Structure 1
C-alpha cells in the first residue's frame, strides 16, 4: 500500500450557518461574474454601467438646471426594464447550472438543510438586484447633497427622499428575484430558463393592457395585478405615493386597492419561494 498523505481534518467545523453564508456569498459573486471568466462579467457589469451613467447624467442635469427630473423611487421605475434582463441572465446562472450538472447531492451532503439552498439563492439574487437599483440612487444622493444650497436641512431632505427610493428598490428586488428563480428552476438549460423568465415578465403585459381598457373602473384599477412590474408599481404607489406620483397627479390609478396590491405582492413572493423549495425537494430525491 502507498501512503498518499491524506490527513484527517482537525480544525473547527463551522456548521450550517457558515455553509449558508458561504453559499450566499458565492451566489452574490456569481451574479456579477466575480471569480469567473471575463465573458461572464460582460453583461452584468454592462447593466451596472448603464444605470450608474444614467444616475450620473441626472445629477449633471440637476446641477445645471436646478431641477430634479426623477425622484429616487421614480428612477427605480425607469430602470425596471433593465432588471428584467438582469434577472433573466443571472437567475439561470444561480440555479439552472446546479440543476443541470447534478451537483445538488454534494451540497446536501454538508450540514445544509434543503430550504437553506433556495433561500440563500433568493437572498443573493435579491441583494444583487437591490444593489443594481440602490447604488445609482446613492450616486444621485451624493450629487444632490453636495449641490444643495439649503445646508444641512437640504441634506436631510435628500435623506428623506432617498429612504422610500431604497425601500422601493427592496420591493423590486423581492418580487423579481422570487419570480426569476422560480421560473429558472423549472429547467437545467440556462438558455431555456432565460427565455422563460423574459416570457413571464413580458407576456403578462398584454394581459394587463387588455384589462386596463375594459369598460369597468374596478377592473381597470385591478389590471396591474396581472403584470409583475405593474404590480410592484401599484404596491409602491400605495406605500410611497408622494415619492412616485408626479405633481400633475397622472400615472397608474389603483384607486383604493392599494392593500390588495400589497397583499398580492406578499403572496406572490411567498408562493414563488414555496415553489422553489418544492422544486429542490423534488430534485434532492433523485
Structure 2
C-alpha cells in the first residue's frame, strides 16, 4: 500500500474574528451604495456626466427663478410648481439611474451573493428603491432649498416673512417626495425586468411617454366626468392631480391654470397609493423569482 503523497500547505488564511454587523448594516450599506451610484459617485467620469448635468440644470432654474423674484419682487414659480416644471428631467434621470441600480446586477450575475444571508431578497429591492427615491427627492428638494434661501434673505418682513416662506417650502418638499416615490417605484420595477440598461432606460421613458397621449385623448372627449378622470391614465398626471387637490393655489395659479380634476381629488390620491403599492409588490415578487433560479 503506497504512502499518501498529498500535502496541506498553510498559506496564511485566517478566519474572520471581527464583529458581524448583521442585516441592518447590510441594508444601510446597500442603500448608501445605491444612492452614490444614482449620482455616479465612486464610478468613472463618464458615469457622472448625465446625473450632474441634470443637477446643474435644475439648480440653475431654481437660481434663475430666485434672481427674477428678487428683482421684480413677485413669486414667479412656487416650490410645488418647480417640481412640476422639472418632472421631465426627473423622468430621464430615473431612466438612467434605475438601470444602474438593478440592471447591472442582473446582467453581471451577482444577485446570488446579495441574496446570501443575512440579506433577505426583499431587503435588496427595498434598499435599491429607497436609494432611488432619495436621489429623486434630493434632485427636486435641493433646488427648492436654494429658492428658499434666496427668498429668506430678500424678504422685507423679517422673521415673519421667513416663517411664511418656510410654510410654503414644506408642502413643496412633500410634493417633491410624491414625485420621487411614484417615479422611483415605476422606474425601478421596469428596470428590474431586464439586465440590459439600454432596454431598461427605454422602457422607463416609454411608460411615461406612451401614457401621455392616453390622457390627451380622454381629456377631449365630450363627457366631463371622463375629462376630469383622464389624468388617471398616466403616472405623471396622477401626481399632478394629487397636487392640485392637496395644494391648490400653491400649485395652480389663476394665470397658469392646470388639469381639471373636478371633485375627484381623493380618487387621484387613492390611485397614487395603489400605483406605488402595486409597483412595490411586483418588485418584491420579481426578486423572489429571480432568487429562486
TM-score strictly above 0.5: yes
Please list every run of 5 or more consecutive structure 1 residues that lacks an aligned counterpart in the other structure.
Answer: none
**Aligned positions of 1:116-195 closer than 5 A:** 116-195=123-202
Q: Greater CA radius of gyration, 1 or 2?
A: 2
Q: Partner of 2:206 in structure 1?
A: 199
Q: Partner of 1:58 in structure 2?
A: 65
Question: CA-to-partner distance for each residue in 1:43-71, whole Å, 9 max, x for gaps?
Answer: 00000000001101111111111111000
**Aligned positions of 1:78-117 closer than 5 A:** 78-117=85-124
**Aligned positions of 1:201-216 closer than 5 A:** 201-216=208-223
Larger CA deviation: 4-13 vs 254-263: 4-13
Q: Partner of 1:223 in structure 2?
A: 230
Q: Partner of 2:21 in structure 1?
A: 14
- Return the alpha-carbon distance in structure 2 between the equivalents of residues 238 and 284 of structure 1: 41
- Return the alpha-carbon distance in structure 2 between the equivalents of residues 84 and 120 of structure 1: 20
Indicate the SS of the match to 1:204. helix
Post-superposition offset of 1:4? 2.0
- Return the alpha-carbon distance in structure 2 between the equivalents of residues 220 and 244 of structure 1: 20
Matching residue within 261, 268, 277 for 1:261: 268
Larger CA deviation: 104-113 vs 71-80: 104-113
- Return the alpha-carbon distance in structure 2 between the equivalents of residues 43 and 145 of structure 1: 31
Indicate the SS of the match to 2:237. helix
Q: Partner of 1:74 in structure 2?
A: 81
- Return the alpha-carbon distance in structure 1 between the equivalents of residues 201 and 229 of structure 2: 28
Please list every run of 5 or more consecutive structure 2 residues that lacks an aligned counterpart in the other structure.
Answer: 1-7
Question: CA-to-partner distance for each residue in 1:227-285, whole Å, 9 max, x for gaps?
Answer: 11111000111111131110347211101100100001000001001111111111101
- Return the alpha-carbon distance in structure 1 between the equivalents of residues 254 and 262 of structure 2: 17
TM-score where L is the length of structure 2: 0.96
- Return the alpha-carbon distance in structure 2 between the equivalents of residues 248 and 102 of structure 1: 53
- Return the alpha-carbon distance in structure 2 between the equivalents of residues 205 and 152 of structure 1: 43
Post-superposition offset of 1:14? 0.6
Q: Partner of 1:274 in structure 2?
A: 281
TM-score where L is the length of structure 1: 0.98
- Return the alpha-carbon distance in structure 1 between the equivalents of residues 221 and 135 of structure 2: 38
Post-superposition offset of 1:124? 0.3
